[in-house]
Chain A
Amino acid sequence: MNTINKYIGVLAIAFLLIQCSPKTTEVMESVEEIVDFRGSAPNPGPAPKINIGKANTFKLDNGLQVIVVENHKIPSVSFQISLKNDQINENEKVGFVSMAGDLMGRGTKSKSKAEIDEAVDYIGASLSTYGSGMFGSALTKHVPALLDVMTDVLYNPSMPAEELEKIKTQTLTGLVASVTDPNSISSNMRAKVMYGGDHPYGEIQKEENVNVIDIEACRDYVECFFIPNNAYLVIVGDVTIDDAQDMANKYFGKWERKPFKPVKHKMVPKPESTQVMFAHKDAAVQSVVNVSYPVELKPGAPDVIPARVMNTILGGGSSGRLFLNLREDKAYTYGSYSSLSSDRLAGSFNAQASVRNEVTDSSITQILYELERIRTEAVDAEFLQNTKNFMTGSFARSLESPQTIARFALSIFRNNLPEDYYETYLEKLNAVTVEDVQSMAQKYIKPESAYVFVVGSKEEVAESLLQFDSDGEIEYFDPFGDLDVADKTEIPDDLTGTQIVEDYINAMGGMDKLKGIRNVITTMSASMMGQNMTIQQSYAEGKFSMTMGNGQMTFMDQRYDGTTLQVSQMGNVETFTEGSQVDAIKEQATVSAQYDYISNGSTIELLGAETIDGMSCYKLSITKPSGNRVTEFYTVDGSLLIRTVGTAPGPAGDVAITTDLMDYKDYDGLFMPSVIKTAGMMPTPIEMKVESVEINSDIDMSMFEIK
């Protein structure tokens, strides 16, 4: 304040001087003084008092705990129902809770989904339902109409079975995409390893879980858990406490109380030494690194605030040490951060970065170094002060939203916190000292007993990580976080990749059989986004054709006459005589790509053995003359090719395309897969069923002609 007044004084004087007497030395000096105030940043005024808005609370007779935050800035009100219970075990039906919540908003005894949408949109409101509650908001004058719909959804959900099927289909689509997403793989592995499959946090959803989710489970869940004595009702906005009380009684008073028994969960064991946990991803160019372990830190515990300051210094953002080291200094990554979360069931620490293959080990070294450094080296006092300023600022900004006040009140209830916990938050934050930071680091940062989780290329990365593992043995996981037991197949010393490919050719019918094939027409069916499609692939004498249509029209027509490729799609016709498209089609214009590997000089390398869908397989890496590389898996018993993994250009760099070849059948003496499943190329995987295979038929060669 003083500073401000001083400058105002100088300004006023300067103004007078300029007015009265032109160009004396005195004036010049004053002007310079004015200019001088620009030389450095102004001092802040006295710290403002931060008032945290008050929440009112009361309980209805049916046990519903109501929290009201009055705020009249905007004439709108929101209503949130938040269930009290901790996350529950879903066992074999992982994912059914969120589906049940979603279903509540998709139909009531008197309204279809379209009618609910219309009712909500008509008043310009919003309403969403989810596994742990629901949220609706509307302008004050439309509140009664909103509450009519919201309570209808709450009391009379029809839980329509056909909508559940839609949700399941979407979930399966999402699951397939997530199997190839390294971040999903990492989060599955971390959850399963840290919490175990018996803990609700360690339950990972798989296809078989989705398939067994039934409407009864969803209905039971809503019946048992959406009850007033297991819920908070949070009302925020343009409402008086009296009105809120009336509304709560009128709309939620008849919500029927039922007996409810809360579930208890076991605590989670911590690792005793540092162990490397690895999930392999074919063709990965980046490793996703997470150094994590469970932490015992409950919300509201005295350590929470100083520990959060410590974590912010370590890896809270773009001024954290991890970021400064791994990005700014070493340029290993676009960003590296850490988190330390408090939780009633199980808290956790996590430090992460996505890094290039070749610096995976160096990155882990640096992360562990920073973890060790914050334990042993005192932080700079000024850095600590700036961190506290930054945290104070974010806290103050968050208070602008009345939802924050409601969140605080809810947290006080949920976690049994003292009433003034948030009012004294900034005091506690400002009291954190350099010593506190170090003692929190020593208590919660454990580089010597952490899990080092890595998702990446096993061949290129895994071996370099042995140095971090205390027992010298890396554990491997599948994309769902289950232990991936190393395949026990012993590979004979004299076995070569070429031999495996030749065995496959023999299994298909033999070299002579393939040589005798002049042409093949394969017709397949597939369902894509609700459409039934027919795909026909034809090969004859180095020429290739593929068409895709739905019976009435052809969506795509690709033809290659041995030199020129023509692609017609949606009325657009393109012709190519060279380039990657032509190279790719040339490799397809054959009776069998594997047959060509032997004759066209491809390099075939035997990488080892791996288990795919329960079958032991040899893993080969094939480099074609074009330079294209593909990884292939051949069963040890039966010598059948069951998976190929290649890359194709995608929107954000190359994407891995996985093709599974299943259910081999005999077609006229030729042994071929009858089901082909491709994932990675489209947002949804495509499963094609072979309908017919015609060999050496009287083929119409015009299908290969360029138009």
Chain B
Amino acid sequence: MSKFLTIALWLLGCLSLVAQGNEIEFVEYDLNNGLHVILHQDNATPIVAVSVMYHVGSKNEKPNRTGFAHFFEHLLFEGSENIERGEFFKYITDAGGTNNANTWYDRTYYYELLPSNQLELGLWLESERMLHAKVDQVGIETQREVVKEERRLRVDNPPYSLLRFLEQVNSRLFTEHPYQWSVIGSMDDLNAAQEEDYVQFYNDFYTPNNAVLSIAGDIDIEETKMLIDKYFKDIPIKNPDIFRPNIVEPPLTGEMVDTTYGKIQIPAIIMGYRIPAQGTKDYYAVNMLNTLMSGAESSRLNKTLRDEQQLVLQVGSFPLELEDPGVALVFALPNMGIEVEAAQAAMDAEYERVQNDLIDEREFQKLRNQIESSYITRNSRIAGIAESLANYHMYFGNTNLINTELDRFMEVTREDIQRVAKQYFNQDNRVVLNYLPEPLKP
């Protein structure tokens, strides 16, 4: 009796701990051409987010054409059979909307945020992009310059660019898997690209069976379905068999230590650890471990290294959510006069503490509270909801994870966190980069 009661109370406890956010409702279906459609209706504000996510990222590139997926994202704003060059943005701003796109290792994402009476405009633009985008030499030349400027702005110029850290770490951490090159890629590869490369890439990946159309906001579901049919139903499948690299990166054989240089004055230390793929049980534990270390002002690395020992100016850690096993970055800028080695030793000591001592109940509860709070408050805008819905379908084949993924975090135990700290955050599973001022470069 009492045993059951305990269990019941325990279950009740779990339920009350996990105060779910309000359920996000959606409908989803496939068109005959394989395009997956997800619709979320929320009529509170008269705006609509129209988005298309393509399951192609830098991971799908050929090793001698790196940066192509991202470059392509730029090119696909150039126009179509029916949209003149440069008009794509004008249609949107003149309608009172905004738009953008982004590319990552595993996917490319386009969206428009429009007044809801302009839903059809969004569908027209996205279907034009999917059906018959047009790219000419002028566009290629222009966008190549824009991408180079973007590389300077986001990778090369900022003294402590995370994209740069990632590029440097991944090129050492992976030798087989395409995660070894960065999303923005090599400018030489972009220069070398030929006309047929563009056609090939478009036909290989920009096909409805490789895309998710996700719409959220002030819509009528039935009316929206009919409009979607009108614009997307007849788009042919260009490639039934999408190339997805199936490369298993061999384990590291030991710690790698290297030095790199940048236009900086304070040196930095950057560590990359190989971690499991998103969606796995261990990934959730790794994610919570990172929050424990640097998720808030009073998290371990901030409190110990920055505030108490005053060894570092700044310290941080974050895991990348990737489809294949990927990387977590841990970095620190040591205070003036603190040797890089001393900062690294202190960081290692903090990870050893997690490996050796189980987190106490109170800190574990704090961690769960932080995870819960950030998870629940993140879906406050329809633009974010449209993207999350598409992500969950594309990566996990389970759109409803938008409502239930928190459970997976809450299943992680203190022992899981200790275990992943040992398994993944050990010295044999990492690359250590000393990032030094350029004048020291030989």
Contacts and interface: CB of A to CB of B under 8 A. Distances in A.
A38 B124 contact: yes
A381 interface: no
Nearest to B436: A572
A46 B115 CA distance: 11
Interface string A645-685: 00001111000000000000000000000000000011100
Contacts of B264: 651
Interface stretch (A136-144, A272-280, A536-544, A617-625): A136-144
Contact of B46 (A76, A396, A529): A396
Contacts of B147: none
Contacts of A531: 335-338
Contact of A533 (B45, B298, B337): B337
21 contacts: A8-B230, A44-B117, A45-B118, A45-B119, A74-B22, A74-B380, A121-B298, A122-B369, A124-B370, A391-B96, A392-B96, A393-B97, A396-B96, A397-B47, A529-B336, A531-B335, A555-B339, A570-B436, A651-B159, A651-B264, A682-B265
A11 B230 contact: yes
Task: Please classify the interface of chain A as helix (H, G, I), strand (E, B), loop, or mixed, using the class held by over half of its residues.
Answer: mixed
Contact of A141 (B19, B313, B371): B19
Given A139-B372, A574-B442, A48 B340 contact: no
Contacts of B382: 400
B95 A48 contact: no
A571 B96 CA distance: 57
A567 B439 contact: yes
Contact of A121 (B121, B299, B338, B438): B299
A396 B376 contact: no
A528 B335 CA distance: 9
A73 B380 contact: yes
A75 B21 CA distance: 6
Contacts of B341: 570-571
Contacts of B441: 574
A570 B339 contact: yes
B19 A393 contact: no
A393 B95 contact: yes
Contacts of A43: 120
Most-contacted residue by chain B among A50, A120, A400 (CB, 10 A): A400
Contact of B115 (A121, A393, A400, A574): A393
A42 B118 CA distance: 8
A378 interface: no
Contacts of B191: none
A139 B376 contact: yes
Interface in A111-155: 114, 117-118, 120-125, 138-142
A34 interface: yes
Contact of B116 (A48, A73, A319): A48
A121 B440 contact: no
B366 interface: yes
B19 A139 contact: yes
A48 B313 CA distance: 51
B165 to A, nearest CB: 15
A684 to B, nearest CB: 8
Given A124-B369, A569-B440, A649-B263, A48 B218 contact: yes
B377 A76 contact: yes
A569 B436 contact: yes
B15 to A, nearest CB: 12
Contacts of A681: 265
Contacts of A38: 81-82, 124, 127-128, 131
A386 interface: yes
B267 A570 contact: yes
A165 to B, nearest CB: 15
Interface string B90-104: 010111111000000
Given A124-B374, A389-B96, A400-B382, A114 B337 contact: no
Interface in A37-90: 37-50, 72-76
A386 B93 CA distance: 8
A139 B436 contact: no
A358 to B, nearest CB: 22
Interface string A357-397: 00000000000000000000000000000100111111011
A258 B115 CA distance: 48
A9 to B, nearest CB: 11
A531 B310 CA distance: 11
A72 B296 CA distance: 26
Nearest to B366: A122
Interface in A608-649: 649
A19 interface: no
B281 interface: no
Nearest to A138: B373
A397 B159 contact: no
A694 B349 CA distance: 44
B120 A45 contact: yes
Interface in B359-379: 362, 365-366, 369-374, 376-377, 379
Given A34-B234, A124-B372, A574-B442, A396 B82 contact: no
B44 interface: yes
Given A4-B120, A40-B82, 19 more contacts: A4-B227, A45-B116, A48-B117, A73-B22, A74-B377, A75-B21, A117-B298, A121-B370, A122-B365, A124-B370, A142-B373, A393-B115, A400-B44, A401-B381, A528-B336, A529-B335, A570-B267, A570-B339, A652-B157
B337 A550 contact: yes
A495 interface: no
A125 B259 contact: no
Contacts of A569: 436, 440
B373 A44 contact: no
Contacts of B44: 73, 400
A42 B117 contact: no
A121 B368 CA distance: 11
A122 B113 CA distance: 36
Nearest to A532: B337
B241 interface: no
A505 to B, nearest CB: 31
A587 to B, nearest CB: 15
5 closest A-B pairs (Cβ-Cβ)?
A393-B96, A124-B373, A48-B46, A531-B337, A45-B117
A399 B299 CA distance: 35
B259 A572 contact: yes
Nearest to A569: B440
B169 interface: no
B159 to A, nearest CB: 4
Interface in A551-573: 553, 555, 567, 569-572
Interface in B235-263: 259, 263
B28 interface: no
B307 interface: yes
Contacts of B442: 574-575
Contacts of B267: 570
A581 interface: yes
- Most chain A beta carbons < 10 A, residue from B114, B265, B310: B265
Contacts of B381: 400-401
Pick from A75, A138, A682 the residue with the most CB of B within 10 Å: A75
Nearest to B313: A529
A11 B127 CA distance: 16
B21 to A, nearest CB: 6
Interface in B257-286: 259, 263-267
Interface in A273-291: none
A7 interface: yes
Nearest to A12: B226
B136 interface: no
Interface string B382-399: 100000000000000000
